[in-house]
Structure 1
Amino acid sequence: MKVLYAVQSTGNGHLSRAQHLIPYFAKRVNLDIVLSGPKNDFDLEYPVLDQYRGFTFSYNKSGGVQWLKTLLKNNIFSFIREVINAPVKNYDLVINDFDPVTAWACLLYNKKCFALSNQFSLTSPKVPKPGKITKQAIKFLKFLVPIKNGYGFHFVEYDKNIFHPIIRDKVKHIIPRKGKSFVVYLSAYSVKKIAKVLKNFPDKKFHVFSKEVDKKQKKGNITLHPIDEINFLKKMGACAGVITAAGFTTPAEAIYLKKPIMVIPMKAQIEQKCNAHVLKKMGVTVIDEFSEKKIAKIKKWINKPALVNLKFNDQSQSIVDRILMDYIKSNFLINQL
């Protein structure tokens, strides 16, 4: 059985999940990997067949999506060409972690495609969403990656096709300890803006990870680090708390390591708004922007960071087997008709 696993390369969350799941798929099927989105230095530890430009969002340095730049940055003709040339016809099944290219290609060539992403969980009416997340916003996600059937990930198993977060072995092997410093990873904010806020807490130490940094630098109470998976996990395992966006992987791994978190959802980012909504219900501190306007709330959290107790079951092999079995069952039913 030949399977194509298409993975979104924006950020590290989709890639880190794929890195963990690839060996489980590879034990069962002949597997190829394609990536979609911007180039990423994350080591997938598995050969990549191709990298698509796909559809990429542009972010400003103040925590939000730049819609005009996003529209100008994406070439519709290039996207259509990638869809037409995507080799989905060569595979029995395409597994899609939020990749628009292979999703549209499967629609075009009538190929079986299953979603496997945290974004897909938002299509379930059972997943809590803030009132301001409209049906139109969810429809946009469905239009961007048009897949009807699939599996989602969330902090809680809200529906039958929603699983707990994937916790990588690299994270499971960490022996957490409570330190005094805080880890900060806010990819949509500039180092300058982050430092402007953190300088208000001179008696606290912060480890800030950013793509703007190419080597370790110390500036007062702040240590700047380039993006490095091993170093980031090491610092997170020994910190007092984590300040991050309302993505999925970093909050989930921090919760697994019993680390308090404060999250700042990216502006105009549907999934992060929904994640923040759920995390807030669980007791996580959520602020709508990382700025000096929020100093009081940030100070309150730093002085008494709240811990969220959640247990995530290891479902890696069962997820893979469930997907493959569902594919076999669906093919059997089609052949019976």
Structure 2
Amino acid sequence: MKILYGVQATGNGHISRARAMGKYLAKAGVEVDYLFSGRPADQLFDMQQFGDYEVKRGLTFVTQSGKVNYWQSFWQASVKTLKQDIQALDCSQYDLILTDFEPITAQAAKHQNKRSIAIGHQYAFLHDIPMQNANMMTRMVFKHFAPAQYQLGLHWHHFNQPILPPIIDEEPQNVAAQSNQVLVYLPFEDQAQVIAMLKPLTDYQFSVYGPGLSKATLGHINTHPLAVKPFKIDLASCRFVLSNAGFELISEALQLQKRILVKPLNGQMEQQSNALALQQLNLATRAERLSSSIIANWLNDNSEKPKVTYPNVASAISGWLLADTPDSINTLSQQLW
């Protein structure tokens, strides 16, 4: 089997899912070509696993200081380039097109009538799940942005819908968790403001990852550039995770039973809905804004940490793909929950 795998590269979570899926597809002897869009090639990192991958412009949202900037998003979008890339992509050599909310591969498969399957958190929003600030426009985006013949939506709970648990890129780390260690990943916030908020909290050790940061030690705060391996080590060794409300990191933190505080991205329906779901499931604390006092109150809260265990979804999906039974999504969902 030969697969073209399209990955939305705007967020690192999509890439993390592709890492997990890629490992099991490779074990099964599947030949996979990867196409990433939504981020310039020079901003991608630790991509060796994906071989000779392609990068296209695609579409993405521009964020500034924790908010979606729709004006800049509009001006930086190139619908003409997107249309040209869709028309130029030849899917004829592939048996299957996989898309993780990546529009070029999804739309090309649709226009060329190729077998296609979508995998990702965004496809859970096609079902009756907790949503905040949803409207006709957001529903149209989830349905038509990166469509496929079959959709595998992922979420932290099934909500009595035919969706699957999260795909987690698990790499066991031989490190012990530290009671005062905090992992901070707030890529959509002003990093200088984040560090300023953490400075008064000297009882804790913070590992801060974010765009534009270099490796440095500022007393009890260690800053890091984005990199997969050190991030995974710090995630395994921390007790607390402070992040925006993206899906994949929260999934990994839940699996490792970390205490979580999320600050959803303002104006981004998906993150607002994720934060709502975490509240309803009692899996994390939510804050609409951050300050030193808000973070301190969360760190000093001695309530029990979440306890969830997710199965190996990447392995299960790989086997399901090879079995070629796309109509059995309900059965796959029931087996995994």
What's 2:335 paired with? none
Residues 281, 305 of structure 1: CA spacing in aligned structure 2 closer, same or farther, 3 A cutoff?
A: farther
Which of residues 23, 28, 51 is equivalent to 1:47? 51
Whole-Å separation in 2 of the counterparts to 1:169 and 1:253: 8
Give the corresponding residue for 1:301: 298
> Of 97, 101, 120, which aligns to 1:98?
101
Partner SS for 1:116 = strand
- Mapped to 2, the partners of 1:175 and 1:250 lie a distance apart of 18
TM-score by length of structure 1 reads: 0.88
TM-aligned CA deviation for residue 174 of structure 1: 4.8
With over 3 angstroms needed to count, the CA separation of the structure-2 counterparts of 1:159 and 1:317, relative to structure 1, is: farther
Deviation at 1:36, TM superposition (A): 1.5
Distance change (3 Å), C-alpha of 1:305 and 1:121? farther
Q: Normalized against structure 2, the TM-score is what? A: 0.88
- When the two chains are superposed, the root-mean-square deviation of aligned CA atoms in Å is 2.1
Q: 2:254 aligned with 1:255, yes or no? A: yes
Q: Aligned to 1:273, what secondary structure does the other structure show?
A: helix
8 Å Cα contact 1:265/1:276 also seen in 2:
yes
What CA distance in whole angstroms lies between the structure 2 residues aligned with 1:10 and 1:297?
28
Q: Which residue, out of 110, 130, 136, partners 1:128?
A: 130
Q: Which residue of 2 aligns with 1:67?
A: 70
Equivalent residue number for residue 165 of structure 1: 166
Structure 1 residue 176, shift from structure 2 partner: 4.5
Deviation at residue 43 of structure 1 after TM alignment: 2.3
Query: 1:42, CA displacement in angstroms?
Result: 3.2
Residues 1:193 and 2:193 are matched in the alignment: yes
Shift of the alpha carbon at 1:123?
Answer: 0.7
Q: In structure 2, how many angstroms separate the alpha carbons of the residues matched to 1:240 and 1:206?
A: 11
1:34, 1:49 within 8 Å by CA — same for their partners in 2? yes
Moved more, 246-255 or 136-145: 136-145
Q: What code does the residue aligned with 2:299 have? A: I
Q: Separation in 1 of the partners of 2:150 and 2:295?
A: 40
> Cα–Cα, structure 1 residues 320 and 105, in superposed 2: closer, same or farther, change >3 Å?
same
Q: What is the Cα deviation at residue 320 of structure 1? A: 1.7
Residues 155 and 166 in structure 2, CA contact (< 8 A), matched pair in contact too: yes
Deviates more, 1:152-161 or 1:307-316: 152-161
State the one-letter code of the partner of 1:52.
Answer: K
SS in 2 for 1:41: coil
Tell me the residue number matched to 2:287.
Answer: 287
Cross-structure match for 1:5: 5
* Aligned mates of 2:206, 2:316 — CA distance in 1: 38
Q: Distance in 2 between matches of 1:57 and 1:71?
A: 8
Partner residue, 1:58: 62
Secondary structure of residue in 1 paired with 2:55? strand
Alignment of 1:181-260 (within 5 A): 181-214=181-214, 216-260=215-259
Q: 1:111 to 1:207 in 2, by over 3 A?
A: same
How far apart, in 1, do the equivalents of 2:19 and 2:71 lie?
A: 33
Contact 1:151 1:163 in 2 (8 A): yes
**Structure 1 pair 258–185 and aligned structure 2 pair: CA distance change class (3 A):** same
Which AA in structure 2 matches 1:321? G
- Give, in angstroms, the shift of residue 138 of structure 1: 1.9
Residue type matched to 1:180 in 2? N
CA contact (8 A) 2:45 2:227 kept: no
Unaligned runs of 5+ in 1: 331-337
User: What's the counterpart of residue 30 of structure 1?
Assistant: 31
- Aligned in 2, Cα 1:74/1:45: closer, same or farther, shift over 3 Å? same
One-letter identity of the residue aligned with 1:208: V
- The separation in 2 between residues aligned to 1:141 and 1:85, in whole angstroms, is 24
- 2:150 corresponds to: 149
Distance verdict in 2 for CA 1:89–1:159, change over 3 Å: farther
Q: Does the C-alpha gap of structure 1 residues 323 and 308 become closer, same or farther in structure 2, counting only changes over 3 Å? A: same
**Structure 2 segments unaligned to the other structure (5+ residues):** 329-337
1:241–1:305 CA contact under 8 A, matched in 2? no
Q: How many residues align?
A: 322
**What secondary structure is seen at the aligned counterpart in 2 of 1:255?**
helix
What is the CA–CA distance in structure 2 between the aligned matches of 1:91 and 1:227, rounded to whole Å? 33
Q: 1:181–1:240: 8 Å Cα contact kept in structure 2?
A: yes
